Structure 1
Amino acid sequence: MDDTLPDSVESRRVETDRLTTNVLVSGDPDGTPLCLVHGNVSSSRFWAGLMADLPDDYWVLAPDLRGYGDSETKPVDATRGVQDYTEDLAALFAEVGVEAVALVGWSIGGGIAMQYAIDYPETLTELVLVSTMSPYGFGGTTRDGTPCQPDYAGTGGGLADDEFVERLAEGDVTAEADASPRSVMHAFYVGPDHEFASETADAYVEAMCATAVGDGNYPGDAVPSDNWPEVAPGERGVLNAISPKYFDASGLATIEPQPPVLWVRGDADQIVSDTSFFDAGYLGQIGELPDWPGDDVYPPQPMNDQTRDVLKAYAANGGSYSEETFTNVGHSPHIERPEQFRSVLLEFLGS
């Protein structure tokens, strides 16, 4: 049990025919359902502060995805994109009696939320994307989603930092190296101006280290490639599930019915941006990956431009969306600016 959880937030286990899911819960069970989906190498614990500050007339659910936090570890079939996750969510909602829900997805959770909207649009009341990955997957595409390499080289499990993966598997909670989970959290999960309270930072790092590590989960397997940067996605695990080889949520633009969409991001995000430090094209451009073939072959992925293009198409087809950009904020607006995020979220849900 996490003794650092706010008093108004509790942890429950929910059994479905797909997964034993750990879920953080707050608010009134008879209130308006709101589900918060966490990002990669994290867990529901990253939502607990927000949950404690939301009005009691919401029933807030924050599940740990498979292989994360305290949920059951089951492998991810990357050839299905993120549909292992969306089907887990659908099973969870059915088990707890949720027929319609406002869905909030952060980072990779945003990709899962977009895919859920495609698969189950009739169940969504609102869709909120927080620092979301691109609808065209993570890495390796030009603005219209065209792959830079025919085998999608430069995306998937082979792009993970080996030392980070090793330290994550060992449960390293120190900051002794740049690749320690705590160091990565401070450097990339938030902007340069954010400082964590020590107890909260400890809880977040422990949540990161609860990530299941291996070919079936994080980061996933990889195969060699003749194309730069000489590694291509395998068929298992989370980073392959979000490779554009298997993930394409651009169909969000044409779903029916069309829930209103809110997109919240930070302008100092280093993970999801048009110049992402986790994108092979950008790393090649700045000299961090050798032998980069150049912008004509492998440009940085314009992640935010791609998201904006799909949301504009969504609006052109009759839907509505709004974009909120937080200044001097990194990858975690709900953690870095909790009051501002809460205000924006509640105003959107209330409208």
Structure 2
Amino acid sequence: MMKTGIVKDHRYLEHITPDYHPENHHRLEVIYGMLNEGDMAGRFVEVMPRFATNEEIGLIHTPGYIARVSATADKPHTMLDPDTHTSPKSYDAAKLAVGGVLESIDRVIASEIGNCFALVRPPGHHAEASRGMGFCLFNNVAIGARYAIERHSLERILIVDWDIHHGNGTQNAFYDDPRVLYFSTHQFPYYPGTGGFDETGTGEGEGFTVNVPLSGGQGDSDYIQIFERILKPVSLQFKPRLVLVSAGFDTYFRDPLGSMNVTPKGFARLTRLLLDIADQSCQGRVVFALEGGYDLEGLKESVKAVLKELRGESILAEEEMNFEDVSSLSIDLVLDRVAGIHKGFWEFVTV
């Protein structure tokens, strides 16, 4: 059985947001509590996070923006934008979130563990080079991708973003870069307003951004079809050397910020597909990083389902492991459109 790492640290809870804010410390409290349950305790390798350096954060972010975030340290409350707040320890938590992802990448590439889930906050995929937004301070996964390229000489990185919100910051970081394939499923139109079908990259990066915008209401079978018919063929042609996952759980069917219908078993099946892609292309090297997800019970159960799948202890019954779902007409139209836009870059044999 493969060794699965987890990044957890009480200092992530010290990023305090206003009482009304959905991205709060209770999210990690319920996840960390779940890790102590009888079927979870002692089954994972704990990966100790470190503080990312300014040089590492600067792989994506500008010096001016890093200075702006660092200036919030020890201040009672700062608003980087209407949605994005800091408290006295937020800067440390943000550096530690980046460092948790980087340490996960280091350990997976060194084959000390087979895969890893960085259970960190604040989240990252909305953070742009020069500004924070959408609850995000530093772009953990984008920094991780560039770190893997620059420090580990990995020439191709796949980023899969299944959060309900489009990862504008991650897309923009690699929009002209063919070394990173960015694949996103998200509700559209919705915050932050990016991620349309025709956003495919520019220059040498054209074709290496694949957006699958969804109207809302899609569930497990729809997502499975997206991953099987679009993500899998594109990824296996791209041949990534590492898979990074921006794992947002706000597509959960009861999430207060979303209107999707994904269940914990759905997340398990998506994870199984990602592991299959990684097994075929990069010795199974996958690092997940927590993004959104605001229904606490759904977040806990969905993260648990993913962790069990990563470890090889699936929650799925045998008959649920096949992926021959019947797709809806609406998702067929979406997939046909995505395939039509990208047919000049990738082959879609099954579409």
- Taking structure 2 as the reference length, the TM-score comes to 0.31
Higher relative contact order, structure no. (Cα contacts within 8 Å, ≥ 6 residues apart): 1
Structure number having the greater helix percentage: 2
- Taking structure 1 as the reference length, the TM-score comes to 0.31
